[in-house]
Structure 1
Amino acid sequence: MAESKPTHLEPSKLGTKAYWDALYTTELSTHASDPTLEGTVWFDDSDAEAKILSYLSPGSDSDSEHSSSSSSSSHPSPSHPHNLSPPTASILDLGCGNGSLLFSLRDDGWSGHLLGVDYSEQSVALAKSIAASRENEDLKSVEFKVWDVLNGPLSDILPPASGGGWDLVLDKGTFDAVSLSSETDSLGRRINEGYGERVLQLLKVGGIFLVTSCNWTEAELQGWFETSTAPNDEKTKLRMAGRIDYPSFSFGGVKGQTISTLCFEKVVVE
């Protein structure tokens, strides 16, 4: 059983906008000098992007548990475990960095509305520069915008005719960074405590939130997003719907992973 509210992380400079602005200013300058250098791919040492692509591939359930995948003899092509359609699914990447995950999804056939947002202007400038440098690729469906995940107006980024929100919301390290901030919200909470509530506002009912973290265990992520994120005014909540398996290690008789990726679905509370 996941505890209702995991213990907060100690604040770090990685939880400040100044840190990320400085990082992406450097990476933007490096990319301008050599377009083949596209900056940091977070969790690359764990092959997280490839794992995420595999998990999201239609018919793939090799790395998932608690999946809703199903098949039928009347459907020769395997269905997607979360009813996502690569040609049409709308995808929002929170804290997009250099855009690497969205570019990988686009290359893998996800050709719907793809939007990456980041509160660092330099991050968005880098992602746009990388997109422009890939002259031989069709990246028209990949968009990047400066937007604050916790405070930006929802009307600025909700897709048109969205049915209430995005089909898929991605987070690869952004919740980690938010969790390292010492800032508090209007209720006096550390700002990461309101992150799940924000995700609910961004998803359509039945939409999927896929979050990858190196700072939180699977049980802690479940605690933050399923257990301690209360149902909103629409009577919806986040329910764990899958996970990605990474190579594990054992230390002192305890088994663990260096990173965790969990999948949550926005469901109506019965």
Structure 2
Amino acid sequence: MEDTTKLNTSKLGTKQYWDDFYAVEKSNFEENPEDTGECWFDDSNAEDKMIEFLTDHVGELLVAKDASMIDLGTGNGHLLFQLCDEGFEGKMVGVDYSEKSVEFAREILRANYSDLSNLEFLAADIFDSKWESPKYDIILDKGTLDAIALSGLKSSNGETIVEAYPKVVDKLMKKDSVFLITSCNFTEAELKKMIETDSLVAWETIKYPGFKFGGHEGSTICSVAFVKR
């Protein structure tokens, strides 16, 4: 049976693409401070649904208003800024391998959220064996695995970085911490197949409006929360 978790490579999986993309977004912001860049999956209301999910589950596992969070592939930091606006006040870190995206996110932070001391953005390659990070209560991914899957890259031990991704996530997690991921390239079943391990198991799924085609039901996007046991 065909492995549907393997995608064709694309320029959207390259660092150069994202450096160029965020250089333009940063330039646009400097010309118009109200233009804070694109909100990924905005047409599906995914960001609001992720925040609503976390808000609804405050008090469960390690989800709390003061929970520590790391956003993998943070881009312009929009998700973290929105979480701050919704009253989440724990330590928040946005990481991205695109230095240009981090420069852009930091510029938005200085301009619009200068009073926040709990939020920072770092340029980092999470697949670099030398990269070290503390563990977090909540790990976030909004489209990052989608981009990673388009890169076609392999880790130093020969694994694809998609295969290595769950191990990277697992190292960032405490017992009972939550990994919340949103994807437009993979189904709920595919995400579970790719991410679940002996210690990282599916917890809950965010529901989106579906469609029917050819007798099959589906949706254009999915979000799944995993918990570390």
Segments of structure 2 that go 5 or more residues without pairing to the other structure are: none
What does residue range 28-177 of structure 1 map to in structure 2 within 5 Å?
A: 28-57=26-55, 60=56, 80-86=59-65, 88-134=66-112, 138-151=115-128, 153-155=130-132, 157-158=133-134, 165-177=135-147
Q: Distance in 2 between matches of 1:179 and 1:45?
A: 22
- How far is 1:190 from its partner? 1.9
Question: What is the identity, as a one-letter code, of the residue corresponding to 1:203?
Answer: M
Q: Secondary structure at the match of 1:219?
A: helix
Q: Distance in 1 between matches of 2:69 and 2:130?
A: 18
Q: Distance in 2 between matches of 1:247 and 1:80?
A: 27
Q: Identity percentage over the alignment?
A: 43
| Distance change (3 Å), C-alpha of 1:24 and 1:152 | farther
Q: Secondary structure at the match of 1:241?
A: strand
Partner of 1:242: 204
Q: Deviations over 1:24-49 (max 9, x none)?
A: 01001111111100111110000111
Residues 210, 261 of structure 1: 8 Å contact kept: yes
- How far is 1:97 from its partner? 0.5
Q: Secondary structure at the match of 1:30?
A: helix
- How far is 1:50 from its partner? 0.7
Q: Deviations over 1:49-70 (max 9, x none)?
A: 110111011xx26xxxxxxxxx
Q: Distance in 1 between matches of 2:79 and 2:130?
A: 24
Q: Secondary structure at the match of 1:42?
A: coil
Question: What is the identity, as a one-letter code, of the residue corresponding to 2:115?
Answer: D
Matching of residue 23 in structure 1 with residue 2 in structure 2: no
Q: Distance in 2 between matches of 1:252 and 1:119?
A: 40
Partner of 2:170: 200
Which one has a larger percent helix, Structure 1 or Structure 2? 2
Residues 125, 131 of structure 2: 8 Å contact kept: no
Residues 178, 191 of structure 1: 8 Å contact kept: yes
Question: What is the identity, as a one-letter code, of the residue corresponding to 1:249?
Answer: F
The TM-score normalised by the length of structure 1 is 0.80
- How far is 1:83 from its partner? 3.8
- How far is 1:154 from its partner? 4.2
Q: Secondary structure at the match of 2:110?
A: helix
Question: What is the identity, as a one-letter code, of the residue corresponding to 1:84?
Answer: V
Q: Secondary structure at the match of 2:34?
A: coil
Q: Distance in 1 between matches of 2:137 and 2:179?
A: 9
Bigger Rg, structure 1 or 2: 1
Q: Which region of structure 1 is more displaced relative to structure 2, 5-14 or 109-118?
A: 5-14
Aligned residues: 228
